[in-house]
């Protein structure tokens, strides 16, 4: 399974320096948090491991991750000022340099614990080089999701107690057929009985139209690309 799929993963991204893995990749890791938390979080605790723990200050990893949490792109001129911008918006921030090995076995690892508009989420991501990232653990309201890592990842929540749940799932699978589902996993979160979360790992990105259609068939959809 190829980690890098597009020629633009190699030539690109256009970004604010100085490091593609520790700055542009860190913006991408933060952006995942923005998506998972349902917007700008009110609290962010950021834990660094290995190379990230040793060099985050020199590579601008702190402001890069916060830029992503704020929803900025890697080439947004506000990237270097993101920490001040976040604090002025009332975001509570802590950074931790961890000594133990990465929980997801990669030298450029960050674990983020966020409180956001959609609730609490904890996730572990790593920056594998050139600005490309992997998300290997997502704890969404107590439900632990463990994707292989590469984006795009689609999470779909379905109420399986509903009569048409099977039909809805079929529709979603139809919509995804062309985008190369490399893995599909079903999880049962704590909480109301009958709810299930489906993780789809995709080869190709989804269009806005596809995302809208899938959202229409599910109780909640999170698309990370």
Partner 1 sequence: MFTSIAELVSMAEERGSSISEVAIDEEVRRSHQTREHIWARMAKNLQVMQAAVARGSQGDGVFSKTGLSGGQAALLEHYRKTRTSLSGDAILQAVEAAMATNEVNAAMGIICATPTAGSSGTLPGVLTVLKNRLGLDDDGLIRCLFTAGAFGLVTANKAMISGATGGCQAEVGSASGMAAAAAVEGAGGDPDACAQAFAIAMSNLLGLVCDPVAGLVEVPCVNRNAIGTANALIAADIALSGGVSRIPPDEVIAAMKSIGESMPSSLRETGIGGLAGTPTGKRFRRTVFGK
Give the binding site for partner 1 (CB under 8 A).
2-21, 23-24, 50-51, 54-55, 57-60, 75, 77, 80, 106-108, 127-132, 203-205, 207
Residues facing residue 111 across a β-bridge: 47, 124
Nearer Cβ to partner 1, position 12 or 189?
12
Radius of gyration for the chain, computed over Cα atoms and rounded to the nearest angstrom = 17
Least distance (Å) between residue 21 CB and partner 1: 5
The closest of 75, 47, 72 to 62, measured between CA atoms, is 47
Q: At 74, list the tokens.
A: 């890697």
How far apart CA 148 and CA 129 sit, in angstroms, is 17
Least distance (Å) between residue 14 CB and partner 1: 5
Nearer Cβ to partner 1, position 34 or 59?
59
* CB atoms near residue 141 (< 10 Å): 12
Nearer Cβ to partner 1, position 127 or 218?
127
Least distance (Å) between residue 91 CB and partner 1: 22
Nearer Cβ to partner 1, position 18 or 142?
18
Q: Note whether 72 and 121 are within 8 A (CB).
A: no
Q: Note whether 114 and 33 are within 8 A (CB).
A: yes
How far apart CA 156 and CA 217 sit, in angstroms, is 9
Nearer Cβ to partner 1, position 13 or 71?
13
Least distance (Å) between residue 120 CB and partner 1: 29
Least distance (Å) between residue 35 CB and partner 1: 21
How far apart CA 92 and CA 114 sit, in angstroms, is 10
Q: Note whether 17 and 74 are within 8 A (CB).
A: no
Nearer Cβ to partner 1, position 5 or 43?
5
Least distance (Å) between residue 192 CB and partner 1: 37
């Amino acid at each position: 399974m190829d980690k890098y799929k597009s020629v633009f993963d190699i030539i690109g991204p256009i970004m604010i320096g100085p490091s593609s893995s520790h700055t542009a990749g860190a913006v991408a890791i933060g952006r995942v948090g923005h998506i998972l938390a349902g917007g700008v979080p009110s609290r962010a605790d950021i834990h660094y491991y290995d190379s990230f723990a040793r060099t985050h200050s020199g590579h601008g990893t702190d402001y890069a991750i916060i830029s992503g949490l704020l929803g900025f792109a890697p080439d947004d001129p506000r990237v270097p000022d993101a920490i001040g911008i976040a604090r002025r918006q009332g975001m509570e921030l802590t950074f931790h340099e961890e000594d133990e090995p990465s929980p997801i076995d990669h030298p450029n690892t960050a674990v983020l614990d966020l409180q956001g508009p959609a609730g609490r989420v904890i996730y572990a991501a790593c920056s594998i080089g050139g600005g490309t990232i992997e998300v290997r653990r997502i704890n969404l309201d107590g439900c632990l999701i463990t994707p292989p890592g590469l984006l795009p990842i689609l999470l779909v929540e379905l109420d399986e107690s509903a009569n048409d749940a099977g039909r809805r799932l079929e529709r979603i699978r139809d919509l995804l057929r062309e985008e190369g589902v490399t893995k599909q996993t079903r999880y049962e979160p704590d909480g109301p009985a009958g709810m299930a979360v489906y993780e789809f790992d995709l080869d190709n990105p989804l269009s806005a139209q596809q995302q809208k259609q899938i959202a229409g068939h599910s109780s909640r959809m999170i698309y990370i690309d």
